[in-house]
Amino acid sequence: MAGRNRQPRLGQREPLTDTMMLMLISIGIFAAMYIAAMLTLKGGFLKPQMFFDLLNDNAYLIIISCGLTIVMIGGGINISVGGVISLTVMSCALFLNSSSIRNDPLCILVTLLLALGIGLAFGLLQGFLVSYLDIQPFIVTLAGMFLARGLTTILSVNPVTVAHEGFQTLVKTKLRISWLGSPSLDGGWIPAKIEIGAIVAIAVVIGMFLLLRYTKLGRSIYAVGGNRQSALMLGINVRRTVFWSYVISGLLSGLAGYVFLMHKPAGNASVAMRSEMDAIAASIIGGTLLTGGVGNVIGTFFGAMILATIQKIIALSPLNASWWQEMANGAMLCFFILLQSIILMRRNSAKIKKRNKAEPKQTSPPETAAT
């Protein structure tokens, strides 16, 4: 028992955990892909703005992927995130166009609260059904996806463009990084620009990382996803932990919808279609195990960036047909699922070895003397 919790000696490296190893692999693949694109495609990838464009275009995907990672670490799944984004975008667009609030900052704040409220409502409902009524999370969130998409269609079957001047000003607001940019054709200097939504996405990644690593809820989510029975024996309230993981995912889905609207100020019934599949793929590529207990939002961030980089590379290459992107995403996803299977096999073999070492060796009974 003393050797089980043995601390590493001075100068001795701590063993590399599965979460850290998968995250490092994701970071390495993203760096290799981006450098390869810079060397082969050149053009836009040589400009810093290309990296910021990947962030700007996929800020909403990063946010919902972080929420989905938390649910998956806890051993669950949530495929309603895309539908919640669609409902949030349509609701906020209609509210902005019909609002009688003349104070622009107040109207924008109320719209943000509306987006968070929609996400919170779905998170509370689905979390209660999954955690306290023990309904399968796939069935619950599938119903949530259909409900959200149906409500979006009820609100409006036609596309709705935001005409609110204050919100349009918010959409056009970008942070200029003067020292980081690229020269223009006329000899000038084009500074790099990052949207507010991308800054929000980075803040969400940092916040969820701190939550998982340094809070009691975060440690409980890892414990529940690793082994529910062991978590119960440790005194962890499993139902409450699962419930809060879905609430967080719902809130982030509503926030992602608002960020999506800040990037593209228009709503329709097909907004964020299949984004739940992209979020699951980003989480898996980022190192989140489907069985739970292992994952990291930093890896999820790079998983989403890998998918975005694949999309941009294919768009700039001669193979710009849509099916090439699907094939590349599928190949990357299969690679990481295979990698996860290898890690699970290694973990199970390590558990068997520890169990065998913990069991006392059986000694043969002493031979009786012949009479």
- Give 192's strand partners: 177
Contacts of 338 by beta carbon, 8 Å cutoff, 6+ apart? none
pLDDT at 2: 39
Cα 116 → chain centroid? 17
Return phi, psi of residue 191, to 5°: -70, 150
The pLDDT tens digits of the residues spanning 273-323 come to 889 999 999 999 888 888 888 889 999 999 999 999 988 888 777 766 667
Considering only CA atoms, which of 299, 50, 58 is closest in space to residue 198? Answer: 58
Fold assignment, 25-342: ABC transporter involved in vitamin B12 uptake, BtuC (1.10.3470)
- Give 175's strand partners: 194
Distance CA 340, CA 359 (A): 29
The token duo for 136 is 């399968």
pLDDT at 335: 80
The token duo for 271 is 């907004």
Distance CA 79, CA 274 (A): 9
Which whole-number Å values give the CA distances from 22 to 201, 237, 264, 311, 364, in the listed order? 21, 28, 33, 22, 45
pLDDT at 360: 62
The token duo for 169 is 């000003």
The pTM of the full predicted model, rounded to 2 decimals, is 0.88
Number of H helices, E strands in the chain: 14, 4
Check if the beta carbon of residue 203 is closer than 8 Å to that of residue 216.
Answer: no
Instruction: Fill in the amino acid letter for 94.
Output: L
pLDDT at 15: 61
pLDDT at 129: 97
Report which DSSP code applies to 10. Answer: T
The pLDDT tens digits of the residues spanning 18-31 come to 778 888 888 988 99
The count of other CB atoms within 10 Å of the CB of residue 225 is: 26
pLDDT at 10: 43
Supply the Cα-derived Rg of the chain in whole angstroms.
24
Distance CA 167, CA 3 (A): 60
Length of the chain measured in residues? 371
Q: Which residues of 132-161 are buried (b: 16+ CB within 10 A; e: fewer)?
A: eeeeebeebbbbbbebbbebbeebeeeebe
Residues of the chain with pLDDT under 50: 1-8, 10-12, 369-371
Strands (E), the chain: 160-161, 174-183, 189-195, 266-267
Return phi, psi of residue 12, to 5°: -95, 135
Cα 261 → chain centroid? 19
**Taking the domains of the chain in order of start, what are their residue ranges?**
25-342
Contacts of 57 by beta carbon, 8 Å cutoff, 6+ apart? 263, 308
